[in-house]
Structure 1
Amino acid sequence: ARAAGAIIKQGFYGKKSVEEKKNASDLVTETDVKSEELVLSRLKAAFPDHKFIGEENSAALGGSPDLTDEPTWMCDPLDGTTNFVHSFPFVCVSIGLAVKQRVVVGVVYNPILDELFTAAQGCGAALNGQPIRVSGASQMAHGLLATEVGVNRDAATFQAVFGRVQALAQVMRSVRCCGSCALNLCSV
């Protein structure tokens, strides 16, 4: 994750090569591709018998393969690509391992803020090696809602997303929409 983070950090402050995938909100950069190539090549070298799902690789093949019982590594090489394009520092590389369709290991690294989140089944979670835990809020009125709009911009999707956000925002302390699903999950 740190090596992929170095690729992200190197590209963060410079000029970016940006392409649209499905629409103007669904972006890919050469940094996404380089980061994924590095992560998948290292994982394949270390775990040649495992399966691998990479966001950019899967998109090029027409979609993600189904998750099976086989050990499978999943990688979003640059979660928060739109943030990256706009030099907003809420970006990360996200890597997970699923065994028998259950995630057992996860690593999320934000190289701009140098925050490394790690978790393993039965071992808890950590931020830069220090144990972390969920907020402990027992009532929705004391919690934050973290959400994302996604890349679909059709009216029905917008109505559904914002309808749910509106309903939840009325009972939550506040709402956050920061542009990285993985970092949102780490902030629970």
Structure 2
Amino acid sequence: MESPMQNELMIALHMAREAGGILLEGHRLGVAPEVVEHKGAIDLVTPYDRRSEALVRARLAEHFPDDTVLAEEGGQTEGQGPEGAARRVWCVDPLDGTTNFAHGLPFFCVSIALLIDGEAAVGVVHAPALDWTFSCVAGEAPRFNGSPLPRLAARDDLGSSLLMFGCGYDRTTRPERYLAMIATFMTRTQGLRRTGSAALDCCICSRGQVDGYMEVNLHPWDLAAGVLIARGAGAVATDVDGGPFDPFTGRLLLGRPGVHGRMLEVIRENDVFLHEKDGSYGR
């Protein structure tokens, strides 16, 4: 039986690959330093971010004019849907991993998710330089390059686990927000890794190549698609304090069954993210 979200999935895949083609062009040609702009001290944007987003917005306006679009560079554009209808919001990161992209590293992607009444229904993450495409419809098995991903096996040994983490753009001005996390888990795991792309980190977890991932100070376009894919493969996703995951908080604790629980124990025992909810760290 065909999924009711099959049309949305196919269009999302096509958009991601089209936008990925734009990014791959820039990756192969190289990004001249003079065209890289700074949204903040270390927060970059390139013409390719904007071209990629413009393409996705155009395709969404063509196929789903009633839907709202929330994207990194252009913000939110309200759809024309009737009042009282299910709220459909497309969360789009046209280039997740811009710093990598600007430096010629291949760890960047296009991330597209459809939220219906706040819940992810469709997610696609496409990394053109790696030739990786992840996709998922809620309630179905996620796919990697067209093939179903196997379910993640449970594991509870944190000492043999490889984890990923991320640090927000405030890391140069508020390093203490991240140093406790790094120090605490560096001494309790087999190792820590950081790619610089939240969507890819979630997808790498979905393949079981790492056992967990944690980060704060993110945005819904960073998380919505990747978390749907990882959850579809059996990963556990919560807030960093164990509360329900909400992409709009920007906080994520993700892990394979067993490892997620061990990560949460360590976080609670060591007050790793103590001040994430008390207003100490505004956006």
Q: TM-score surpassing 0.5?
A: yes
Q: 1:141 offset after TM fit, Å?
A: 2.6
Amino acid at match of 1:151: Y
Partners of 2:102 and 2:116 in 1: CA distance = 34
Structure 2 counterpart of 1:107 = 124
Partners of 2:161 and 2:66 in 1: CA distance = 42
- More moved, 12-21 vs 73-82: 12-21
Partners of 2:99 and 2:166 in 1: CA distance = 12
Structure 1 counterpart of 2:164 = 146
Q: 1:27 offset after TM fit, Å?
A: 0.1
Bigger radius of gyration: 2
**Secondary structure of the corresponding residue to residue 187 of structure 1:** helix
Of residues 74, 84, 93, the one that matches 2:91 is 74
8 A contact 2:171–2:178 mirrored in 1? no
Partners of 1:93 and 1:45 in 2: CA distance = 19
Structure 2 counterpart of 1:49 = 66
Deviation by residue 1:99-118 (Cα, 9 ceiling, x = unmatched): 11111111000001111000
Deviation by residue 1:39-60 (Cα, 9 ceiling, x = unmatched): 111012111111100100029x
Q: How does 1:29-48 map to 2 (within 5 A)?
A: 29-48=46-65
Q: In structure 2, do the counterparts of structure 1 residues 96 and 75 end up closer, same or farther at CA, with 3 Å as the change threshold?
A: same
Q: 1:162 offset after TM fit, Å?
A: 1.8
Amino acid at match of 1:18: V
Structure 2 counterpart of 1:117 = 134
8 A contact 2:135–2:142 mirrored in 1? yes
8 A contact 1:137–1:143 mirrored in 2? no
Identity %: 37
Q: Which is bigger in relative contact order (C-alpha 8 A, separation at least 6)?
A: 1
Of residues 190, 213, 234, the one that matches 1:173 is 190
For structure 2, the residue ranges without an aligned partner over 5 or more in a row are: 1-15, 77-85, 206-283
Partners of 2:50 and 2:70 in 1: CA distance = 13
Q: In structure 2, do the counterparts of structure 1 residues 98 and 105 end up closer, same or farther at CA, with 3 Å as the change threshold?
A: same
1:21 aligns with 2:39: yes
**Secondary structure of the corresponding residue to residue 196 of structure 2:** coil
Partners of 1:133 and 1:71 in 2: CA distance = 29
Partners of 1:165 and 1:15 in 2: CA distance = 32
8 A contact 2:112–2:123 mirrored in 1? yes
Of residues 101, 105, 115, the one that matches 1:84 is 101
Q: 1:166 offset after TM fit, Å?
A: 1.6
Aligned Cα RMSD in Å?
1.6
Deviation by residue 1:72-107 (Cα, 9 ceiling, x = unmatched): 001000000000011000010000011111111110
Structure 2 counterpart of 1:62 = none
**Secondary structure of the corresponding residue to residue 97 of structure 1:** strand
For structure 1, the residue ranges without an aligned partner over 5 or more in a row are: 60-68
Q: Output the TM-score relative to the length of structure 1.
A: 0.88
Q: 1:135 offset after TM fit, Å?
A: 4.1
Q: 1:170 offset after TM fit, Å?
A: 2.2
Partners of 2:115 and 2:169 in 1: CA distance = 25
- More moved, 134-143 vs 14-23: 134-143
